[in-house]
Structure 1
Amino acid sequence: MQNILFKFITVAFALSLAACGLLPEQKDETVGWSAGKLYSEAKDELNAGGYDKAIKYFEKLESRYPFGTYAQQAQMDVAYAYYRQNDQAQGLAAADRFIKLHPNHPNVDYMYYLRGLINFNDRTSIFDTFTDQDNTERDPKAMRDAFDSFKLLAERFPESKYTPDAIARMKYLVNAMSQYDVHVANYYFRRGAYVSAANRAQAAIKQYPDSPANEEALFILMRSYEALGQQQLRDDTERVIKATYPNSSWYTGGPKKKAGPWWKVW
């Protein structure tokens, strides 16, 4: 019985090997392509939205022709392809790698800008498209990373064509980060953690003095002092609200409902 079983296994193994040999080999269609041909095909795939294939071609180009302008351009384009593919980790890794390898490249400013865009767009998802969730309610890490990337671009390349847009996005991000702190302060207040609510509201006002969210932050601060029995601090905050926001909807009964979220600017 054991001999029969052994023979059966041997025959089955031999047939499996034979079957593998009958399968057609996957040929690499790019064999023999020049650097120019590889780059052209990769670019066509990228423009057509074929990001997987574009990435594969760009990586083959860099592997086969590691020196020269085509390889450097491929490194930039592969970062963009990952960005369009919504692969944040790979996109950031590719952008960081290019900046490290080519810190003096004439187009390195674009890579700083791309790093900012990758983090900036990380705050959204397909799910957000179908909801009215305010993106400022989410973890602000990506917002801070985006701000830092845009800030580096503005500081190192003030004349870059990407800098004006980066500065505009930085202003938006400051407001978004401020609004996030106000969300947290409001969360603490609604749960009766009045000291934490007051501290967080104060921090938002001090760190982002020109943010539109400060109106709500002051209102939370006033209410927190009131709940804590700090009448003098409560009255001082009320005076600031009346002086700074004389027509504050928060102070007179809560904000009016807007037609759409303030943060949807892109």
Structure 2
Amino acid sequence: MPVNKLLLIAALALIAACSSKTVIDENLTENELYAQAQEDLGSSRYSTAIEKLKALESRYPFGRYAEQAQLELIYAYFKSVEPEAARAAADRFIRLHPQHPSVDYAYYIKGLSSFEQDRGLISRFIPLDMTKRDPGAARDSFNEFAQLTSRSPNSRYAPDAKARMIYLRNLLAAYEVHAGDYYLKRKAYVAAANRGRYIVENFQGTPAVGDGLAIMTEAYHHLGMQDLKQTSLDALKLNYPEHPSLDGGEFKVTYKQKEERSWLYRNTVGLFDNAAPLPPGQTRASQDVIQQYEDAEEAIPGELKEGLQGEEEKERSWFSYLTFGLFD
């Protein structure tokens, strides 16, 4: 069977599964409804389990399984890859039962939902660099795990949460390094220096601190701030003597400027400093167009250019000029 037909069948099956709604017998007792929900969870039928757990909570809000159903609902949403729903269910449980013995579980699944949110279906099969993606979910996950470890330091979930926090902190620091490199490449040296300083001040203990010092050193080098450059370089040499930006103790500039900029250009991002005054009636845009035309003209092969020059030497009538030579 062709692959496109298989994909079509799979898509239709998925749509049918999503559109179908579980019909729950209204005569089921609380025990029966909870038992069926547990059976669905055990068989990985999470969508069906969600419907039954919601029905259990709505039909028996003060029953013996009401609070447990809320906890199971958080887990069912998480396993069905609905991170926003899982986090909402966890928030609701924490708000309703802040002193519940299992409230640490709600915090843990909430943090785990944010942790897995960035690691979607595609990233599980395609090797994506997570440090270059939007860190919003990673930052949320770190904060949620931090709440768990601070509120319940002896929780059974605390060790795993702490391990994930170390990973997330390194990931967030690496993202800041990518941002600093981007600013260096764009010659936004003040922003690059600020980003490097932010890494050094807020991510101590991560491998990215050396990169932050290197970003600061290079940014201050381009800005001509020799004292700040030397301070950053000394810290880099002292703490990270094997950093890739150092070659025999000397700093290697990664992004070299094409031309020397004046102090006015560096401090005003080029707004008030031009290489040469513009001729009357010209703008930078018009100069760029002229330069593009000249570059294109130089790229014309010699033999073709000679033919064009021969054509230009011919006398042209006013009609030829008006019609751009279409009817010559």
TM-score (norm 2): 0.66
Q: Distance in 1 between matches of 2:23 and 2:167?
A: 47
Gaps of 5+ in 1: 1-25, 255-266
Alpha-carbon offset, residue 29 of structure 1: 4.5
Are the counterparts in 1 of residues 41 and 76 from structure 2 also a CA contact under 8 Å? yes
> Structure 2 matches for 1:145-224, cutoff 5 A?
145-224=140-219
In the alignment, is residue 144 of structure 1 matched against residue 139 of structure 2? Answer: yes
Q: Distance in 2 between matches of 1:29 and 1:231?
A: 74
**Residue by residue, what CA displacement relative to the aligned partner does 1:200-224 show, whole Å, maximum 9, x if unpaired?**
1111110111111111111111111
> Structure 2 matches for 1:1-266, cutoff 5 A?
28-252=23-247
Q: Distance in 1 between matches of 2:152 and 2:24?
A: 41
1:50–1:196: structure 2 CA closer, same or farther, 3 Å change rule? same
The amino acid that maps onto 1:40 is: A
Q: Distance in 2 between matches of 1:68 and 1:160?
A: 27
Gaps of 5+ in 2: 1-20, 254-328
Are the counterparts in 2 of residues 76 and 111 from structure 1 also a CA contact under 8 Å? yes
The amino acid that maps onto 2:145 is: F
The amino acid that maps onto 1:189 is: L
Q: Distance in 2 between matches of 1:224 and 1:117?
A: 37
Q: Distance in 2 between matches of 1:137 and 1:47?
A: 37
**Residue by residue, what CA displacement relative to the aligned partner does 1:146-165 show, whole Å, maximum 9, x if unpaired?**
12211111111111111111
1:207–1:81: structure 2 CA closer, same or farther, 3 Å change rule? same
The amino acid that maps onto 2:35 is: S
Q: Distance in 2 between matches of 1:160 and 1:78?
A: 21
Are the counterparts in 1 of residues 22 and 48 from structure 2 also a CA contact under 8 Å? no
1:229–1:109: structure 2 CA closer, same or farther, 3 Å change rule? same
Are the counterparts in 1 of residues 30 and 63 from structure 2 also a CA contact under 8 Å? no
In structure 2, the residue corresponding to 1:106 is in which secondary structure? coil
1:127–1:78: structure 2 CA closer, same or farther, 3 Å change rule? same
The amino acid that maps onto 2:200 is: I
Alpha-carbon offset, residue 27 of structure 1: 9.7
Alignment length (residue pairs): 229
Q: Distance in 1 between matches of 2:50 and 2:102?
A: 20
**Residue by residue, what CA displacement relative to the aligned partner does 1:89-114 show, whole Å, maximum 9, x if unpaired?**
21111111111111111111110111
% same residue: 41
Which entry has the higher C-alpha Rg, 1 or 2? 2
Are the counterparts in 2 of residues 215 and 250 from structure 1 also a CA contact under 8 Å? no
**Residue by residue, what CA displacement relative to the aligned partner does 1:128-149 show, whole Å, maximum 9, x if unpaired?**
1243322122222212211221
Q: Distance in 2 between matches of 1:247 and 1:227?
A: 23
In structure 2, the residue corresponding to 1:168 is in which secondary structure? helix
Are the counterparts in 2 of residues 194 and 227 from structure 1 also a CA contact under 8 Å? yes
Larger relative contact order (CA 8 Å, sep ≥ 6): 1
The amino acid that maps onto 2:144 is: S
CA RMSD between the two structures: 1.9
